[in-house]
Structure 1
Amino acid sequence: MISDHQDTSDRRRLSLSVVRDTCIVATLVVLGLYAGAAFLIPLTMALLVNVLIIALSDRVIAVTRAPVWIANIAGITVVLVGLFMIMYVLGSQATQFARSINTYESQFDGAVERITGLVGNDVTTFIRDNLVSIDMSYVARILLGSATSLLNQFFLISLYVAFLMAERLAFRKKIQLAAGNPQTGAEFASMLDAISFSLQRYVGVKTFISLITASISYAVFRTLGLEYAETWAVLTFALNFIPSIGSIIAVVFPAMIALVQFETIGPFLIIVLGCGTLQFLIGNFLDPAMLGRSLNMSTFLVILALMFWTTVWGLIGAFLSVPLTVCILIVFSHIPALRPIAILMSLDGRLDEDDRPQSAS
């Protein structure tokens, strides 16, 4: 009896020490992410851009049977030029929009009067009391300032991408040498392959879907004559990478500008109903159909990850929340001690390797 009681006490002490050590490590990791944001954000962006380039170059090879070096050059050119154009549009129009935001604020009272007959006096009073107090110039600087910052870091990201592409083939050989024994090297390579597969699929599909959404939205904005249509289209493209709330914000901002810019309620309703319906259909039907179970993340985890990464890395963290959490889930799934956590993080309790036993062998 004494021996059993002692064993129970030892197990309790061991579990408490594990919880203590886990909390210490988690705290240090979060502090490191926060303190090292200036270094880690460009590096993380470069890794995701590198994944997109590899996915595009592999697609070029599959379609055209072109040599690897030509496919890599094509992928690098398309991705970096597209990324530069996105950052340039946002960066160049950020200052103009921030300067003209005061004009929109002065026209806000007229816009509120126009929607009085549509929604009633009570709602109008609520809108006036709550929105007039918002510093719209501050909001504009927060949203567009991140794009300007990324434009300043574009060349650093490009430098990282160049070295990552140069060491793409040599890196796998170095993993095998660093692992020591073949089994450990194979397990580590399998984990990296799973991360690469999931990220390539996520980044590729989300880029394609966001491009479709932004193109249709841009056509609507240009047809209506909305000011800064290019900025709103690029923001629509970028905000679709933010889960759940990104698509809502992508509709709200151009709709508010339309409400203030035009003297009629028509353009506002077209953007809200037209673009809102488009975002709803794509987000609830096309997006899940194309992504399928490749992410296999709990819906609650997606929201939790969005809040966490936004708190740690700001607006850029919101864009990166899903890819980073996918990487964490895959890493946990390959570590036996952390596999139960990965199961809790997943959507249905099944991990990717459970569905693909052939790839794990």
Structure 2
Amino acid sequence: MTQINKSASVAILIVVIVVSLIYLKSIIVPLILAAIFWLIVVEVRTMISKLISLKDAKMPVWLQNLFASIMIFSILFVVVKLLSLSIQNLSESMSHYDGNLQKMEDKINAVFDINITKSLNKMVGNTNFTSLLRTVLSSVTDLFGNAFTILLYVVFLLLEESGFGHKIRAMYPESNDQESVIKLLERVSKTVSSYLTLKTFVSVITGVLSYFVLLFVGIDAPFFWAAIIFLLNYIPTIGSLIATLFPSAFIVIQTGEPSVGLLVLIAVGAIQVVIGNFVEPKMMGNSLNVSGLVVLIALAFWGTLWGVIGMILSVPITVLMIIVFAEFESTRKIAILLSEDGNIGKPQIRNLEGKE
């Protein structure tokens, strides 16, 4: 009976957590994004402190934070500005796309002697490309809708950072407990920030190379599509596939020439294959230690809960779960199940559960 009650309590807790994640999305997602930006600021701050060193004095943390924040948000401002211009250009060109789509449809009907519109309508119903593109553009602009909230969270995280140590000491009076918790937090911070830094670097390389390919073929708003490729590159497994198909399909609709779409598909696809199979593994290695099946399940789960943002955050959240679960005996088996090789190291803070 005790085991049944325990299982029922766990099931209820899981349901409560999932429902909370769904209904508190507008609060939790900006907070997670702010935490990610904070980790990036810390990473950049560390690099700045190494590059800019005073003779015998250490640069103040607040000055490091200021330099790192100005650098990051300046880059973000430029990117958002360029994206806004690209989206505006796409919006102004929308009226031409449906006409090109009609011409391409007529060519296909003439060559294969079929009515492609009638066939497609049976499968997917009536679809207007212009309205579909507007939906995509609206989804992209929504990603920047919470920018002020995220910025506010980042500022307060930076302000609260100096008091973290004092709060940990107050929560865990024993020095052994303090050391264990600090090691856990440092491990989480280092692993997640390293992943984000390397993934961002790889995504930038992929986006820049794709931009030059798209610029060469003359696609409308190449920066917009390069930014989409950069963003989708954070989504494991299917992100690179979607990032290759999007501009390829769009250039066909823009020009009415399938051969141009095939060229983009091959060129951008080759970039994704080389970066994904050679450059990224070389840089990141197997440091994440996450099962491939777990990545797919996490992708589906967080994507269902939070959409595109959930897909992007699926790997960092899973890595964090493995690290935290590995530190406690009661959840250690879950961490082993989520890992790739079962090697998750020795727990550091079992004593917090009262176990020596």
Between the aligned partners of 2:170 and 2:26, the Cα distance in structure 1 is 32
Cα-to-partner distance string for 1:207-230 (whole Å, 9 max, x where unaligned): 100100111111111112110111
Aligned position for 1:345: 338
Per-residue deviation, residues 11-56 of structure 1 (Å, max 9, x unmatched): xx33322221111111100111111011111111100011111111
**Does residue 60 of structure 1 match 2:48?**
yes
Corresponding position: 1:288 with 2:276: no
Specify the SS of the correspondent of 1:107: helix
Map Cα deviations across residues 331-351 of structure 1 (whole Å, 9 max, x no partner).
111121001000000011111
Cα distance in structure 2, aligned partners of 1:116 and 1:179 = 73
Q: Does 1:39 align with 2:27?
A: yes
Provide the rounded CA distance (Å) in 2 between the counterparts of 1:85 and 1:128: 44
Question: Which is helix-richer, 1 or 2?
Answer: 1
1:57-91 Cα deviation digits (max 9, x unpaired)? 11222233362444322221222222333344445
Please give the alpha-carbon distance, in whole angstroms, between the structure 2 residues aligned to 1:353 and 1:98: 55
Partner residue in 2 for 1:323: 316
Query: In the alignment, what sits opposite 1:250?
Result: 243
C-alpha distance in 2 between matches for 1:327 and 1:127: 49
Q: Which amino acid aligns with 1:47?
A: A
CA distance in 1, matches of 2:22, 2:113: 43
Within the alignment, does 1:26 sit opposite 2:14 as a pair? Answer: yes
Shift in Å, 1:286? 1.5
The one-letter amino acid paired with 2:306 is: W
- Other-structure match for 1:210: 203
| Residue in structure 1 matched with residue 354 of structure 2 by the alignment | none
Q: How many residues align?
A: 340
Moved more, 150-159 or 230-239: 150-159
The normalised TM-score by structure 1 is: 0.85
Alpha-carbon shift at residue 95 of structure 1 (Å):
5.8
**1:80 maps to amino acid:** F
- Partner of 2:331, secondary structure, is helix
Runs (5+) with no aligned partner, structure 2: 348-356
Contact 1:218 1:232 in 2 (8 A): yes
Residues 192 and 136 from structure 1, CA distance in 2 versus in 1: closer, same or farther, beyond 3 angstroms? farther
Where do 1:1-361 residues align within 5 Å? 13-65=1-53, 67=59, 68-94=61-87, 97=90, 100-101=93-94, 103-112=96-105, 121=112, 129=120, 133-137=126-130, 139-351=132-344
| Range with greater deviation from structure 2 (286-295 or 269-278) | 286-295
Shift in Å at residue 271 of structure 1?
1.1
Cα 1:146–1:48 change in 2 (3 A) is: farther
Counterparts of 2:126 and 2:279, CA distance in 1: 38
Tell me the percent identity: 30
Unaligned regions of 5+ residues in structure 1, if any?
A: 1-12, 355-361
